Structure 1
Amino acid sequence: MSLISDGIKDKLDVNWFLSTSNTINIADLGNSVGFVAVKSIVESMKQNIPKSKQDKVQFQVFFNDHVRNRYDTLFKSLPLNREYFAAGVPGSIHSRLFPENTLHFVHSSYALHWLSKIPDELIDRKSPAYNKGKIFYTNSCMEVVEAYAKQFARDIEAFLNARAKEVVPGGLMAILLPCFGVKKYPLVEVIDLLGECLMDMVNEGLINEDLFDSFNFPRYNATQKEINDIINKHNHFTIEKIQHMDAPSFKCMSPNIHMFMLFLKSSWEGLIAQHFGSEIVDEVFVVLRKKVVTSSALSKANMNTVSECFVLLQRKTT
């Protein structure tokens, strides 16, 4: 939040925006409950507005997430004393969501590591990247890793192209996503354990093997260099700041298996139900919990590998 606040103070000309409209449009993309971030963004913008104009300024905030997530939770949880108008906008962050030149600030936290689709070659039996018997790129051949990396790059490019149309010249975009120098870290290990659970169910006859082989987990954990290289190829934004950071929320996390499993289920059950059917979801997480308890996934050493990448981009004016 301090990096976002500094970026708004140093880079965003709020008064120039207000010369044509009294409304500031903010979008929180990929996380329909980003209230803390939005509150900080609005407060930081207000500090850049002369007091004589503050009462006239209106803030419109658009919360976006996939349609499978529950927007009723968002609307029930909105702060009553908020200083902005709120609206929910369903749809993929990798495509257009807003009219041209309407957004002044875009925030996206822990969304862009989720892929828009599984690369086709992962489920093509004739492809060198056919990922048979596995659901992720860890412990897979280099062709599988490259397929994931290329899809991530395509997704980031699509995201930037869409936002280049929607963000006004001079507008800012703040992105936070997992960033790792190594491919092994707590959630990766748990994804591997999920694969073991699903394979156990294949062996027990509860899941069809072909159905298992057509499932790959749709996320990619990029390094800072990968993120930097992809964004630098895009000519509509300038990188104002890119910073590798520790992830204090993970490092301070107590190894509470109950809370951790609630987090996993809320994040993953939709993917599992969509592919395998909702009737197996509870059993999957019962088995997964047993595997997590006996693994090193929640060890302090694993938690200390988690890090993040903060990127501040500004829409070019020419």
Structure 2
Amino acid sequence: MDFKGDNVVISNIKLEKLLCMKGGKGENSYANNSQAQAIHARSMLHLLEENLDRVQLMTSPEVPFVVVDLGCSSGNNTIYVIDVIIKHITKRFEALGIELPEFSAFFSDLPSNDFNTLFQLLPPLAVGSMEECLAADHHRSYFAAGVPGSFYRRLFPARSVDVFHSAFSLHWLSQVPEAVVDKRSPAYNKGRVFIHGASEITANAYKKRFQADLASFLRSRSQEMKRTGSMFLVCLGRTSVDPADQGGAGLLFGTHFQDAWDDLVQEGLISSEKRDSFNIPVYAPSLQDFKEVVEADGSFAVDKLEVFKGGSPLVVSKPDDAAEVGRALATSCRSVAGVLVDAHIGDHLSEKLFLQVERRAAGHAKELLEQLQFFHIVASLSFA
């Protein structure tokens, strides 16, 4: 597959080096447009803490306790979650009367991630004993480092990680399925830029890619996690058995976003082939899709696996303001997919595309607020 944009060529190999949430701290950045993810994450904290209670604590303070956030992106959400994890584990150590170890937190994402913005948001490291560090306000009590790389491969030494956390990332595929953008294939996703509403064979190509990626993810974590550790995973999910019905993700990328691409084609700004060669590499699995892979892998026991209603990705101050709703949808799309669109059609046409998304969404503001709901797959896993 090749995405050919303005002096840019994106192959599946290069997708890993390009894909990222919009960096920086600007209006369209992920850091300033991830409030919905923050709300959804906070609503699931009780599930995260249940997962952390399953971690077996070691009595040797010489061995650091290691926490990893996979798909950390570049905003405050990942810092908040790491803080929650370490504080909860600290309380468990204290309740058992075990001397506290040092804590290490690794923030991991693709090499294209804006680690600079993330590191600027990190609180300063408190100096002193672990107890003094924990007592220091507006400081962190852990050593931090960034780890660039795809979580579909190995990233850490064997048996080195106590807790893996990953939220709102595993629905991103390692690549667009090749058959989906191959004109000779029956799975060719002609006329569409996303799986939502696609043919059964196209949807199954997405599903197959997701399950192969998740299998690779689990194989890697099964080597890296300590036998006493635990893993908490959250990704976009769906309640429908039909993989072509992508629920909230479908409304985000399969309606007004899709129509905006069609507008560019009808205005003669891009060819239909140019549109058809772009597909969002996202798949929202069903509970069964996810469960099949975990059971086939066999390394992990399922402590909890459920579909969780996360709510709307649109955070607006004036729900009756259609223009604000339109901007919110366009900005949400742009913060997570803008980098791919820019690379495919260039900055100028990308700007036009997202203005069209905003205009179209504003015309359906009431419907969007009522219907745009995200569901998440929530999985707590430990070694079988």
Q: TM-score under structure 1 normalisation?
A: 0.90
* C-alpha distance in structure 2 between counterparts of 1:161 and 1:249, whole Å: 33
| 8 Å contact from structure 2 (residues 312, 374) kept in 1 | no
Rounded to whole Å, the distance in 2 between the matches of 1:246 and 1:215 is: 29
Match of 1:306 among 374, 377, 380: 374
**Residue 189 of structure 1 contacts residue 297 of structure 1 at CA under 8 Å; is this kept in 2?**
no
Change beyond 3 A, Cα 1:280–1:68: farther
Picking from 256, 260, 263, the partner of 1:197 is 260
1: CA distance, partners of 2:190 / 2:122: 44
- Structure 1 position 122 matched with structure 2 position 180: yes
Q: Deviations over 1:150-183 (max 9, x none)?
A: 1110111011011111111121110011221132
- What are the equivalent positions in structure 2 for 1:154-169 lying under 5 Å apart? 154-169=212-227
Select which of 266, 282, 289 maps to 2:335.
266
State which of 257, 271, 274 in structure 2 corresponds to 1:208: 271
Conservation of the 8 A alpha-carbon contact between 2:60 and 2:101: no
Task: Report the Cα distance in structure 1 between the residues aligned to 2:351 and 2:278, rounded to whole angstroms.
Answer: 18
Q: Is the 8 A contact 2:66 2:105 kept in 1?
A: yes
Inter-CA distance 293–252: structure 2 relative to 1 (3 Å threshold): closer
Task: Confirm or deny: 8 A CA contact 1:190 1:292 kept in the other structure.
Answer: no
The verdict on how the C-alpha distance between 1:197 and 1:249 changes in structure 2, with shifts beyond 3 A counting, is closer
Change (3 A) 1:221 1:206: same
Please say if residues 265 and 285 of structure 1, whose CA atoms lie closer than 8 Å, have aligned partners that are also in contact. yes
Distance in 2, Cα, partners of 1:24 & 1:297: 48
- Percent identical across equivalent pairs? 26
- How many residues are treated as equivalent by the alignment? 311
Q: 1:259 to 1:82 in 2, by over 3 A?
A: farther
Letter in 2 for 1:92: S
- The match for 1:236 among 295, 299, 324 is 299
* 5+ long unaligned stretches in structure 1: none
Matches within 5 A, 1:1-318: 1-9=45-53, 11-15=54-58, 18-19=59-60, 21-32=62-73, 33=75, 34-50=78-94, 53-54=98-99, 56-80=100-124, 81-182=139-240, 183-192=245-254, 193-248=256-311, 250=313, 255=319, 256-257=324-325, 258-295=327-364, 299-303=368-372, 305-316=373-384
- Cα distance between partner residues in 2 of 1:132 and 1:35: 41
- Contact map agreement 1:135 1:195 (CA 8 A) in 2: yes
In structure 1, distance between residues paired with 2:250 and 2:123: 34
Using the alignment, how far apart are the partners of 2:121 and 2:382 within structure 1? 31
- State the 1:195 CA deviation: 2.2
Secondary structure at the counterpart of residue 233 of structure 1: helix
Q: 2:281 is matched by which residue type in structure 1?
A: P
> What is the RMSD of the two structures over their aligned residues, measured on CA atoms?
2.2
Q: Which runs of 5+ in 2 are unaligned?
A: 1-44, 125-138
TM-score normalised over the length of structure 2: 0.75
Secondary structure at 2:141's aligned position in 1? coil
> Is residue 250–residue 306 contact of structure 1 (8 Å, CA) maintained in 2?
yes
Residue type matched to 1:123 in 2?
A: V
Tell me if the contact between 1:201 and 1:207 (Cα under 8 Å) persists in the aligned partners. yes
**Change beyond 3 A, Cα 1:185–1:296:** farther
Partners of 2:153 and 2:216 lie apart in 1 by: 7
Contact 2:66–2:160 (CA under 8 A) maintained in structure 1:
yes
Q: C-alpha distance in 1, partners of 2:194/2:272? A: 16
CA shift digits 1:254-278 (9 cap, x unpaired): 6442344333221111111122223
Partner of 2:8: none
Distance apart, 1:280 and its partner CA: 2.0
Between 1:247-256 and 1:149-158, the stretch displaced more is: 247-256
